[in-house]
Chains A and B, each alone.
Chain A
């Protein structure tokens, strides 16, 4: 049974614990008698509840201490700037700690000082102001409407259609000018999609030979006979384009050595050499390098969105958001035994785009040729 009518003595704390969102119980009530000593200089205004002088004096001392700390910390900042040089990881660390530490201290001490000032020296406030409706009232609206019509009539824009129409005519192309100016943000040619269909693997070298595959980083060509341990993997770039980021964004390869019996039907065996298969490293989802390879399962994994491809089976998608396999590059060896590309990818590598179409289907129809 509950009961609210029993008049018994209650300890002061018998109110619900304050819940987030509830105002503090003390708000708006002056706990101080009017005859107490107020902080100096506070006028007697309703809704302004002065601090007592003792609290204010204590607040002043604490705030002053905080402000002094800020001063000292700011001096320490300048001293640290001069004292600690930078230049390597260790000295930069020391300098950053000294500068940042003193800056932090200066700012936080200043903040704390002001808070003490507000809470202990300034009065408590419970001021009330009226709100008025946002709308401006019927007279004002009517006046504005009338003035608007009158001004429009005075300007002649309503009754002189020639003026109005030619003004619109004048404004329209002016608005388009900035758009015209932006044309040269893009390249001069407008046949963008064709650029996406080709990579440098399709280009012969200057002396008319097939382009060699080289190891990313070292730039060393790869002798097929040396790349002979099954499960081996290399990140490969086109010779002559090792530092050309535009070329690499489409042409980077992942090169994997299989035992011949491991290769499944999805992989075009004519495009392999002695169990070595080359796939585009650029993920067909949004273009991250699919850089992780799990030897035991032959899975290639893109670390960005976890598209997973089966390298033994034509790099077909087995998990994740990528919709297409990684394109395979036809490779062979040149007369010195180095791996080369015999042709470009049969389908555009990298992320899908509007004009791409089902390039894979076209290749199938044409019997494996683009």
Chain B
């Protein structure tokens, strides 16, 4: 290439390293590694960069924070709390906020970065789910992702318990109330966690080592594994012109992707700095030190715990006493079941889908959500289920803001948590089919040009033009959802092997419902031409046999 020679200092260092590491071979293969481009591929990066910012700001905070529940009399510079007895943890959190320059900024950035970290993971997971990017060969990376999300919730919980203010203590108390409700081991777990009775003097230092060492260590290892797998398996790409299951089209790692990633890191960092500067978060000095005797109304956890809070609020007062033992279902069910459904459902989905579709092939082209309507509907139901619980976690705020009865928000929530997902499923399914039909219309009829033409015999028509080739390629990237071939019974009425028995029959039935082409792209073609009556195409007027 005619791009000159490598400058001496760089060449010198590179040879030094290559002589010792053989890095040249790796770089030769990877410097120009191609990364596909799509805005939705950037969502996970928000989480990644937030994690780095969490490590940076968190390290700063550890220089000043004292994870001790020992009592001290506050002598710092925040006047309203002067001479108040409090834990050393709370006193040092106040010290960071008011007596360390940039301390409040770092605290607020740390908290905002934590929110963005979890939010980034959530939307990233949704993107991966709805585009089917978890399919073979990426199931392992998906599982790592589910693990990361779970750990992130735990990391958040241990983190916001540390300052030992009244709000964080309320969270800790609820954690204790949930832990102690566990059958058989509840009291043991609680006494071991708190080193005795609640609150004891141990829990903050224990949470501290979990929060700054153990969990972030595991997170770091899993995030690295997540990145390495992504690198090795190469990123999925959206369907489009020239993109196939056996290639990857996009920009090279060096220099374009590297520079873009750097810019994106800076954007994330900048936005977190912006939030940390201008948007107050967790003003602990207003809450006062923790005491189990007090609480402020409207206490809320961070947003990612909201769904657990909501499910606790929604639950009717069920408690069973058998043989002298107590099973507090009104705590156990809401604390374990929704989380269990969501996390287990996420973890198992790739494998259940494989079982249902019988599809064991590799997939590297992402699916548009409309093109797998059942998956998209399941995802939307899950979002609705989560969303209802999450909203109900703030039912006191809803009640006071909209002036509705608090009890009625709960009653309505109890119904919505079951009905909402069902409605979401049906609505989403219809929308997906509608969008597929619109795609079929674009391929079959072309795109409305807006030009009205009068034919010699007086009829008016709208002229349609073929779609732009990039768009056509994108739409044509659709493939039917795989299904198990030959699930039907043979002429003697005997189903094929593996499809017998109740489970086999269920599988065959699910496969038929889940898989297959609901609306073929060519369905839009030719139909309606002979009648020549209607001047519009698209969803709405197609024949009803296409809907399910």
Contacts and interface: CB of A to CB of B under 8 A. Distances in A.
A245 B292 contact: yes
Nearest to A126: B249
A97 interface: yes
Contacts of B33: 129
Nearest to B536: A2
B465 A4 contact: yes
Interface string B259-301: 1101111110111011011100000000000111111111100
B139 to A, nearest CB: 11
Contacts of B453: 3, 6, 8
Contacts of A187: 191, 195-196
A3 B474 contact: no
B276 A354 contact: no
Contact of A288 (B295, B362, B442, B445): B295
A43 B1 contact: yes
Nearest to A195: B197
Contact of A303 (B32, B188, B295, B407): B295
A108 interface: yes
A303 B528 contact: no
A27 to B, nearest CB: 6
Given A22-B470, A134-B362, A321 B334 contact: yes
Contacts of A355: 187, 325-326
B97 interface: yes
A43 to B, nearest CB: 5
B5 to A, nearest CB: 12
Given A2-B462, A99-B105, A353-B187, A288 B174 contact: yes
A2 B319 contact: no
Nearest to A291: B295
A305 B192 CA distance: 26
Nearest to A81: B101
Interface stretch (A113-121, A137-145, A155-163, A330-338): A113-121
Given A131-B234, A291-B295, A322 B199 contact: no
Interface string B442-467: 10011101110100000101111111
B376 to A, nearest CB: 13
A130 B264 CA distance: 27
A364 to B, nearest CB: 13
Interface string A269-303: 00000000000011001111101100000000001
Nearest to A186: B192
Contacts of B461: 1-3
Contacts of A84: 101
Nearest to A6: B463
Contacts of B447: 14-16
B1 A128 contact: no
Interface in B77-117: 77-79, 85, 97-105, 108-109
A43 B3 contact: yes
A323 B318 contact: yes
B199 A304 contact: no
B184 interface: yes
Interface in A304-360: 304-307, 317, 319-324, 350-358
Contact of B294 (A89, A235, A322): A235
B1 A357 contact: no
Contact of B195 (A134, A186, A303, A351): A186
Interface stretch (B146-154, B235-243, B337-345, B425-433): B235-243
A315 B547 CA distance: 56
A226 to B, nearest CB: 21
A143 B208 CA distance: 48
Given A321-B334, A323-B318, A127 B249 contact: yes
Which range contains the number of A residues in contact with the other chain? 35 or more
Given A1-B459, A134-B362, A104 B259 contact: no
A108 B1 CA distance: 35
A186 to B, nearest CB: 4
B252 interface: yes
A10 interface: yes
The secondary-structure label for the interface of chain B is: mixed
Contacts of B446: 2, 4
B293 A8 contact: no
A240 interface: no
Nearest to B332: A352
Interface residues of B, number: 148
A27 B243 CA distance: 12
A255 B461 CA distance: 82
A321 B78 contact: no
Contact of A286 (B103, B234, B312): B312
Contacts of A320: 313, 317, 410
Which of A4, A192, A321, A356 has the most CB atoms of chain B within a 10 A radius of its CB? Answer: A321
B261 to A, nearest CB: 9
Contact of B263 (A115, A130, A245): A115
Interface in A167-205: 182, 185-187, 192-193, 195-196
Contact of B293 (A22, A235, A317, A350): A235
A110 interface: yes
Interface stretch (B175-183, B211-219, B510-518): B175-183
A291 B147 CA distance: 38
A354 B180 CA distance: 8
A118 B313 contact: no
B380 interface: no
A263 B278 CA distance: 52
Interface in B486-520: none
A264 interface: no
A249 B180 CA distance: 14
Contacts of B331: 285-286, 321, 351-352
B259 A122 contact: yes
Given A43-B1, A129-B34, A306-B313, A86 B177 contact: no
Which of A103, A281, A350 has the most CB atoms of chain B within a 10 A radius of its CB? Answer: A103
B321 interface: yes
Which of A24, A27, A235, A304 has the most CB atoms of chain B within a 10 A radius of its CB? Answer: A304
A229 interface: no
Contacts of A303: 295-299, 396
Contacts of A110: 263, 266, 270
Nearest to A18: B471
B84 to A, nearest CB: 11
A130 B249 CA distance: 9
B470 A321 contact: no
B262 to A, nearest CB: 6
A193 B188 CA distance: 9
15 contacts: A1-B534, A25-B470, A103-B277, A108-B267, A108-B274, A118-B263, A130-B246, A131-B246, A192-B187, A285-B331, A286-B176, A288-B299, A321-B316, A323-B318, A351-B176
Given A114-B263, A185-B193, A291-B295, 9 more contacts: A1-B534, A4-B465, A8-B463, A25-B468, A28-B241, A87-B98, A128-B249, A248-B293, A357-B325
